[in-house]
A and B are shown apart, each in its own frame.
Chain A
Amino acid sequence: MNGQLLKVENLTKHYPLGTGFLNKTVPVVRAVEDVSFSVEAGETLCIVGESGCGKSTVARLLMRLVEPTGGRVLIDGTDIAGLKTHELRASRRRMQMVFQDPYSSLNPRLTAGQIITEPVENFERLSRKQRQALAADLLRKVGMRPGMMHRFPSEFSGGQRQRLGIARALALQPSLIIADEAVSALDVSVQAQILNLLLDLQQEMGLAFVFISHDLGVVEHIGHRVAVMYLGRIVELAPCEALFANPVHPYTEALIAAAPVPDPTRVRLEVPVEGEVPSPVNPPSGCAFHPRCPLAVDRCRIEVPPLVPMADGRVVACHVRAPAADTSGRPVAAASSSLTVG
């Protein structure tokens, strides 16, 4: 288990809904349920799934912006839950986040230079000279002119603001960047520029990414491995090429089939999946996908399918497509903790 930058074990997050009366149990939103994965240095792990499936909650749990209901997050083998404030800050240096909205995530009253050097100044005082040198260096890294450090966010285009967000994330020389829908709000031509920048940075600096997106085309382009989430759970985690060439979970299959393809000669099959994603407050019993699944059998309505390792190094949670080898004695936890995919 060494060489892993990030390891996530059985991570769970339930948000209470309202406050509930006295000893009455409070209903909860099951935002993230028993999620495990790992990320190695220099790799891109993508998380895909439709809105509300828990992607952003995973990101917030990784950054410890919210406390988990259960499970652990380990950075370089150290559980971040046990860390004191200053240790937590040090561990955060290893991991930085880039958000979707380049407009709201930058303080409009600070200059570009101040914005991107701010994370460093939280740790150490910089002289004006040092700050300018750092700002210039960071701007160059993200393909902007150092002269732009004196401008304010409102003077930049959407793509440039996203570059600033990335520059700020790079300031502390992290090993891992969590990008939550970082290119989703951008037009495709600008999106291409930012994806190129991320690929370049990965090459030059050996950065790892947890890249969260609902856009399968982008994920296929940039990912090494992909985790597919549905209603808070990972339903399939596979090497990127294998996942797209041969989706195993019926939901993965539906998701890939639903994505529009810019090729008018392709013949569209029938509508890939009916119905809508149910509420995470009352998720369906058994496999949460069963009400929409064309393959569902009785067992799917009763038992939560465990993540089962497959021969090609992926894990899949589906009673039909990935039946557990030994259905009688095998505990669910055993399957989900053996989830590390090479």
Chain B
Amino acid sequence: MQMQKLAGNDVLLDVRDLETHFYGEESVTRALGGISFQVRSGETLGVVGESGCGKSVTALSILRLLPKLTARTVGGEIRFHGRDLLKLSPREMRQIRGNRIAMIFQEPMTSLNPVYTVGHQIAEAVQIHTKASRSDAMAKAREMLRLVRIADPERRVNNYPHEMSGGMRQRAMIAMALACSPELLIADEPTTALDVTIQAQILRLIVDLKEHTGTAVMFITHDLGVVAETCQRVIVMYAGRIAEQASVTDLFARPAHPYTQGLMRSVPDRRHGRQRRLPEIPGIVPSLREPIVGCSFAPRCPFAIGICREKTPTLRDIGPGHAAACFRAEEVMGG
């Protein structure tokens, strides 16, 4: 039921041809090779792909939190409510970050400060972005801890991060991220470090809070199971590009990119029988340090033909709300 509600059609975030590079001593890593996608208000967009495909760099590029000395967004636009974030001054960007666009990471300790209590940090986040008094901000902190279902918030508000379990810290970080009612929450692998029962609790919490607050969520994960359980739309990334984009039901029912298909088949699944060999994706991901000629998946792709090694396939529509960057998407989807 959470599927239909809230997923409006107005575009909140519009990313176009985003290109981000890392500069090493001798080489340039093309971490994002021009990606375009949108996040609509109130929806949960999944971003999925294997490690190194550019998920975190996408998040950091949007928030303009890339390492200053070694990375740069060299092309594209990131329109938030129509305004290009790449053109904002650092001060304007700070007003958006943490306030209208908030983020949570895999490891809560990267955003929680070990020397302050959790309540202090949430209150401070509130005070930076609103004119709330100290006591109002602390009251808000307690309210947020209650909202993220931390037991005994009156006491926990005075805890230091190290006095909390991993699951509780993740809840506290979500409380801090949501304290200013952001329009967009970027969650980068927020449950990857957690045990499966705690993961289930946090996923449910994120889904519930999203319904409750109407915040749009960009949910980054490597786990197709997590995508299936939390997202409405999905983009699949491979080697710094978007391979496929679809509603979550279409993606799982009719994967149209050979990489998506390969990824799904390589996950052990009882429906396909136990102790049988799993279909493998042969080979390894390409280096992003050398320019890639043709489709970046071609060397591993069972569908590859001549054109795949010469031209770069662009993301093209293959059905309503369904796009794939593959010359043979129709055949892939059919077979």
Contacts and interface: CB of A to CB of B under 8 A. Distances in A.
Nearest to A268: B229
A50 interface: yes
19 contacts: A50-B196, A187-B50, A192-B268, A192-B278, A192-B279, A192-B280, A192-B281, A196-B280, A200-B277, A221-B268, A221-B274, A255-B196, A259-B225, A260-B200, A260-B229, A264-B252, A266-B228, A273-B200, A276-B167
A254 B266 contact: no
Interface residues of A, number: 43
Given A222-B275, A262-B252, A273 B266 contact: no
A274 interface: yes
A189 B281 contact: yes
Given A259-B225, A260-B228, A221 B275 contact: yes
Interface string B271-291: 000110111110010000000
A229 B269 CA distance: 23
B267 A217 contact: yes
A195 B226 CA distance: 22
B79 to A, nearest CB: 29
A241 interface: yes
A188 interface: yes
B224 interface: yes
Interface of B: 50-51, 165, 167-168, 195-201, 203-204, 222-229, 248-249, 252, 262-264, 266-270, 274-275, 277-281, 284
A272 interface: yes
A277 interface: yes
Interface in A52-93: none
Given A187-B50, A240-B274, A260 B203 contact: yes
Contact of A189 (B50, B167, B168, B223): B50
B96 to A, nearest CB: 31
Nearest to B266: A192
A187 B267 CA distance: 10
A28 interface: no
Interface string A196-240: 100110000000000000101110111000000000000000001
Given A240-B274, A262-B267, A189 B280 contact: yes
Given A220-B268, A260-B225, A272 B197 contact: yes
B197 A255 contact: yes
A239 to B, nearest CB: 11
Given A195-B268, A199-B277, 4 more contacts: A187-B51, A188-B50, A262-B269, A266-B228
Contact of B263 (A188, A271, A273, A276): A188
A262 B229 CA distance: 8
A262 B266 contact: no
Contacts of A312: none
Given A271-B200, A274-B201, A262 B264 contact: yes
A259 B196 contact: yes
Nearest to A202: B275
A193 interface: yes
Contacts of B262: 189
A306 interface: no
6 pairs of A and B residues whose beta carbons are closest in the complex: A260-B225, A221-B268, A192-B266, A258-B200, A50-B195, A187-B50
A220 B274 contact: yes
Contacts of A199: 275, 277
B225 A262 contact: yes
B248 A258 contact: no
A218 B266 CA distance: 11
Given A196-B278, A221-B268, A264-B228, A214 B200 contact: no
A340 interface: no
B213 to A, nearest CB: 19
Nearest to B49: A187
Contacts of A257: 200
A263 interface: yes
Contacts of B278: 192, 195-196, 221
Contact of A261 (B195, B198, B225): B225
Interface in A241-288: 241, 244, 254-255, 257-266, 268, 271-274, 276-277
A278 B195 CA distance: 13
Nearest to A224: B275
A157 interface: yes
A11 to B, nearest CB: 23
Nearest to B279: A192
Given A221-B274, A241-B274, A263 B195 contact: no
Contacts of B249: 264-265
A132 interface: no
B233 to A, nearest CB: 11
B228 A261 contact: yes
Contact of A262 (B168, B228, B274, B281): B228
A266 B229 CA distance: 8
Contacts of A188: 50, 222, 224, 263, 266-267
A159 interface: yes
Contacts of A264: 228-229, 248-249, 252
A189 B267 CA distance: 8
A337 interface: no
Contacts of B201: 271, 274
Nearest to B151: A275
Contacts of B281: 189, 192
B4 to A, nearest CB: 14
B51 A217 contact: no
Contacts of B225: 217, 259-262
Given A188-B50, A276-B165, A220 B270 contact: yes
Contacts of A244: 270
A100 interface: no
Contacts of A241: 274
Given A255-B196, A260-B226, A218 B269 contact: no
B203 A187 contact: no
Given A50-B195, A187-B51, A214-B195, A262 B224 contact: yes
A335 B248 CA distance: 48
A10 interface: no
